[in-house]
Amino acid sequence: MTNGKIYEMPSRPTRDREHDRSLGSIIVEIREELKAFLNTRLQMMKSEFHETVAALRVGLPLALFSLALLAIGVLLLTGALVTIVAAAFAGNPYAWFFAFVIVGVLWLALGTLTAFFAYNQIRSRGAFPKRTVEVLKADKEWLESEASNI
């Protein structure tokens, strides 16, 4: 029930009012919208960068500590492996030399293979923030569609 009151829709500006705007006011409006647009995109990039830096502040010390522990473990296991290989050459005066060379070549081969995989992984991942690029591509498509409608 409306209790006898008549409700009207709010009036919208007519096309004639929109055509009465000056070129200067349109340019000012476009400039302000462009500033807001660019500011939003800049804030997105800053936010993504700060998230990455925050993750690195925590992750980098942990990664360095884990690398130190892994290095100690590898050294101990290498010593054990060299001892086993040297035992295979028992009685040979160069047993320890052969053992170190064999184990060294093994570690070099494994290290080279691991470095190859790491390089490919890093190369396949882009350095630029993906979300920002996706938003910018969508903005470009939107701008092109708006420009074609004019």
77 lies in some domain? yes
33 lies in some domain? yes
Supply the DSSP symbol for 90. T
Q: Which of 26-30, 81-85, 121-125 has the highest mean pLDDT?
A: 81-85
13 lies in some domain? no
Total domains present in the chain:
1
64 lies in some domain? yes
What does the pLDDT read at residue 133?
Answer: 76
The letter for the amino acid at 121 is Q
Residues 6+ apart with CB under 8 A from 82: 96, 99, 100, 103
pLDDT over 90, % of the chain: 35
Range with the lowest mean pLDDT among 19-23, 88-92, 116-120, 126-130? 126-130
| Other beta carbons within 10 Å of 103 | 20
57 lies in some domain? yes
60 lies in some domain? yes
Domain ranges, residue 121: 23-149
Contact between 103 and 82 under an 8 Å Cβ cutoff? The reply is: yes
Could you report the per-residue pLDDT of 38-93, keeping only the tens digit for each? 888 889 888 888 888 887 887 888 889 999 999 999 899 999 999 999 999 999 99
How many CA within 13 A on the CB side of residue 85?
Answer: 19
Three-class DSSP category at 43 = helix
**Mean pLDDT over all residues of the chain?**
83
